[in-house]
Structure 1
Amino acid sequence: MTTAGVRATARIEARDDGRGGTSLPVLDGEGPLALRRVRSGGLEARVMLVGAMSGPLGGDRLAVEARVGPGARLRVGSAAATIALPGQAKGEARYDMRLDVADGGELWWLPEQLISAGGSDLSVSSHIELRGGARLVFREEQVLGRVGEEPGRLTSRLTVRRDGRTLLDQELACGPGAPGGWDGPAVLAGHRALGQLVIVKAEFEKDPPAARPLGEYAALTPLAGPAVLVTALAPDALLLRRVLDEALNELT
């Protein structure tokens, strides 16, 4: 750590082990980003992201990189919610995810919630590259403020590309200093938990799910290509997870 904050990158590489399973030749964490392989009971490899320090804090630059090779199956979760905090260093914190899935590979990215604590300033970027018949389940959940506090500033961008073609590219800014209207009826409508689920699989090419509401504050939207997007708002993290879990069970 320096006065400018922490710089740390965690790297995961998953490969087909040639016996129907998945090996992890690269599993390397730094600083607050510790990685642990956990028992899967199946053919996939499972990795848990464990926060070894508080953060991200102001000025931190954190990144997670994951590569999934042909025939490999990887599921990534986290041991607890990530809490963005103000910290002593001035300036915005950054948390970047760079995920790459080869043709025939499969990635389930299912971390716990990101909580934007009062006074924090965090920019999150998730960039996902898919090739050919890659399969993806990506969940993102964000909670604005802890109980009884106002949120920090949170900017989140999610980009998903398949064979160089953009399936999804969106950005949302919330909290102090964000463009006006972020908490209004056209955006969050006063809710403090927001999430989305992106699922990409070849079966959607021939039989895509129809666009429809999934309750009062959730919707399913087909994307260009074999992909769907589920977006949801809720008053708290528990109800948000329930909505996204129901959609995940239906679509996978």
Structure 2
Amino acid sequence: MTAQGVRATARIEARADGRGGTALPVLDGEGPLAPRRTRAAGTEARVTLVGAMNGPLGGDHLTVRTRVGPDACLRVGSAAATIALPGQSKGEARYDVRLDVAEGGELHWLPEQLISACGSELTVTTRADLGPGARLVLREEQVLGRVGEDPGRLTSRLTVRYDGRTLLDQELACGPGAPGGWDGPAVLAGRRALGQLVVVRPEFGRQPPVPRLLGEYAALTPLAGPAALVTALAPDALLLRRVLDEASHDLT
């Protein structure tokens, strides 16, 4: 920890164990980032990120680095929602997620919601780099403000690359100080829960999913590559999760 906030990194590495399962040779974290091994299921290793401290707070810089080796399969979740809070240190907080999935590997990245509390300022960047034949299920959910409060400032960027080619690169800014119109009918339309689901499967390169609406405020869109994107808005986190879970079931 410094006068400017906490600097912490968590590292997760999954490798095929040669017996049809997945081993976790690297599993460590610092400060508020505590990855924990949980019970495996079949060929899949499972890890839960546990928040050991409040945050991220203003001035913090947290990083999670995850690597999945060839033919390994990993599922990562979190024990609870992440709440961005204002802190004593001035300046924005940062939360960087770096995901690297080698050829033939598979990653399910399924954290709980990120809640942007009033007065907080957070920038989140998530980047996934996939090798040929890799598979990914990535869910991202954000809730603007706790019950009865205004949101903080939240900037989120998501980039997904497959075999060196960019499939998705998008950024959204919400809350005080964000570009005008973020809460208007063309963006969030007054909804306070927003999410997306990215599914990368090699077979989508041969037969992409059919684009369609998934309710009044959700849609499935095939990407230019073996991938599909679901975007959704909802009045609350519970309904948002239901929409994304139904879409995940259909796509995977």
TM-score normalised to the size of structure 2?
0.99
Does 2:228 match 1:228? yes
> Following TM superposition, by how much is the alpha carbon of 1:2 offset from its aligned partner in structure 2, in angstroms?
2.1
The equivalences for 1:171-182 within 5 A come to 171-182=171-182
Taking only aligned residues, the RMSD between alpha carbons, in angstroms, comes to 0.5
Residue equivalent to 1:208: 208
Residue equivalent to 2:122: 122
Does 2:192 match 1:192? yes
Letter in 1 for 2:117: A
> Residues of 1 paired with 2:65 and 2:36: CA distance?
15
Could you say what secondary structure the match of 2:118 adopts? coil
> Residues of 1 paired with 2:113 and 2:224: CA distance?
27
Letter in 2 for 1:123: T
Residue equivalent to 2:61: 61
> Residues of 1 paired with 2:37 and 2:171: CA distance?
32
Regions of 4+ moved over 6 Å: none
Does 2:33 match 1:27? no
CA deviation map 1:121-174 (0-9, x unaligned): 000000110010000000000000000000000000000001111000000000
Letter in 1 for 2:183: D
Residue equivalent to 2:74: 74
> Residues of 2 paired with 1:105 and 1:176: CA distance?
40
Structure 2 stretches of 5 or more lacking a match? none
Structure 1 stretches of 5 or more lacking a match? none
Could you say what secondary structure the match of 1:55 adopts? coil
Letter in 2 for 1:246: E
The equivalences for 1:1-252 within 5 A come to 1-252=1-252
> Following TM superposition, by how much is the alpha carbon of 1:40 offset from its aligned partner in structure 2, in angstroms?
2.1
Letter in 2 for 1:102: A
Identical columns (%): 81
> Following TM superposition, by how much is the alpha carbon of 1:62 offset from its aligned partner in structure 2, in angstroms?
0.2
Could you say what secondary structure the match of 2:30 adopts? coil
TM-score normalised to the size of structure 1?
0.99
> Residues of 2 paired with 1:57 and 1:22: CA distance?
34
Could you say what secondary structure the match of 1:39 adopts? strand
